[in-house]
Amino acid sequence: MSLPEFETLTLERDGPLTVMTLNRPERLNAFSVTMARELLAAFDALDADRGTRAVIVTGAGRGFCAGMDLVPTEETGGNVFGLDASVDLEGPESARIRDLGGQVTLRIFRMTKPVVAALNGVAVGVGATMTLAMDARVISTKARLGFVFAKIGVCLEACSSWFLPRLVGMQTALDWAMSGEIVDAEAMRKAGYAAEVAEPEALLATAKARALRYVEGTSPVSVAVNRQMLWRMAGAAHPMEAHRLDSRVMVALSQADGHEGVTAFAEKRAPVFADAPPEDLPEVFDWRAEPPWR
């Protein structure tokens, strides 16, 4: 399958990996309404692409993403957040004010492939929050991160109030969100935000090496369900919810990739996993399910 082309980002294959590059380097890859729509379309395409086993997200030039482009354009109609403030916030048409960043992080949340951020430079605002729904963050020593919302009079968006404490703990999450300060690579590492720190010239290779660990010798379907189960159970009230889900998924997989895996183990050979998401995911759960907007 050939990958789609976009205006604000590029997709490039490297074997089983696909690198998504935010590509507005003249604006430090600032987020726009167009970029939001293209990110949604790109993640849809990569989720459906059997050739893509994992996704790397990085930025062109010296920045990762400078946040919402704070220059009014025709598409934002003066409201730089791309929000239509005239709607009844509680009525049925309220979906028109759904935060764009949140639509992107909820889409990443539902991915069936690992998503690794390769943070090459400045990531602020939605540039910072979109990375929270990814599975791992590899950062350059030159990367900078800022949940700057308090500095410009707005709020944590892109569901970051849900994601951030689950990654760095409550105390750091509150500190970053209430100060609005920019943090450096060492602070990102200490906080547990960064899985790995690399020199700028080694960043992409490091991120790819990490993504390959999720790809080589693993069952694509297993990786998909493990990824989703961890994210979906992160807010579950009781381990019984995991028990209901994993019991059924285990039965289904034991007749598919699990059968091959155990057979190969017994025969002392490498397994050959033919199944792949999204088509071959166990049907005992709706992996695309999402609570409704309201």
Nearer to its own copies, 97 or 202 (CB): 97
125 binds its own copies (CB under 8 A): no
222 binds its own copies (CB under 8 A): yes
User: How many beta carbons lie within 10 A of that of residue 113, not counting itself?
Assistant: 26
254 binds its own copies (CB under 8 A): yes
48 binds its own copies (CB under 8 A): no
Nearer to its own copies, 121 or 220 (CB): 220
174 binds its own copies (CB under 8 A): yes
Residue 38 phi/psi, 5° resolution?
Answer: -70, -35
208 binds its own copies (CB under 8 A): no
Nearer to its own copies, 10 or 246 (CB): 246
* Closest approach of its own copies to the CB of residue 162, in Å: 4
Stretch that binds its own copies, among 15-23, 30-38, 40-48, 158-166 (CB under 8 A): 158-166
Stretch that binds its own copies, among 9-17, 26-34, 56-64, 221-229 (CB under 8 A): 221-229
Query: Residue 192 — left, alpha, or beta (φ > 0 → left; ψ -120 to 50 → alpha)?
Result: left
Q: Find all residues with CB under 8 Å of 171, minimum gap 6, and list them.
A: none
Question: SS3 for the chain, per residue?
Answer: CCCCCCCCEEEEEECCEEEEEECCHHHCCCECHHHHHHHHHHHHHHHHCCCCCEEEEEECCCEEECCECCCCCCCCCCCCCCCCCCCCCCCHHHHHHCCHHHHHHHHHHCCCCCEEEEECCEEECHHHHHHHHCCEEEEECCCEEECCHHHHCCCCCCCHHHHHHHHHCHHHHHHHHHHCCEECHHHHHHCCCCCEEECHHHHHHHHHHHHHHCCCCCCHHHHHHHHHHHHHHCCCCCHHHHHHHHHHHHHHHHCCHHHHHHHHHHCCCCCCCCCCCCCCCCCCCCCCCCCCCC
253 binds its own copies (CB under 8 A): yes
17 binds its own copies (CB under 8 A): no
Residues of span 256-285 touching its own copies by CB under 8 A: 256-262, 264-266, 271, 273, 284
* Closest approach of its own copies to the CB of residue 5, in Å: 29
Stretch that binds its own copies, among 5-13, 17-25, 37-45, 161-169 (CB under 8 A): 161-169
198 binds its own copies (CB under 8 A): no
* Closest approach of its own copies to the CB of residue 10, in Å: 25
Stretch that binds its own copies, among 7-15, 18-26, 28-36, 91-99 (CB under 8 A): 91-99
**Site for its own copies (CB under 8 A): which residue of 77, 205, 239, 288?**
239
Stretch that binds its own copies, among 10-18, 21-29, 36-44, 134-142 (CB under 8 A): 134-142
The candidate with the shortest Cα–Cα distance to 101, out of 80, 87, 121, 115, is 80
* Closest approach of its own copies to the CB of residue 53, in Å: 11
**Site for its own copies (CB under 8 A): which residue of 41, 167, 182, 202?**
167
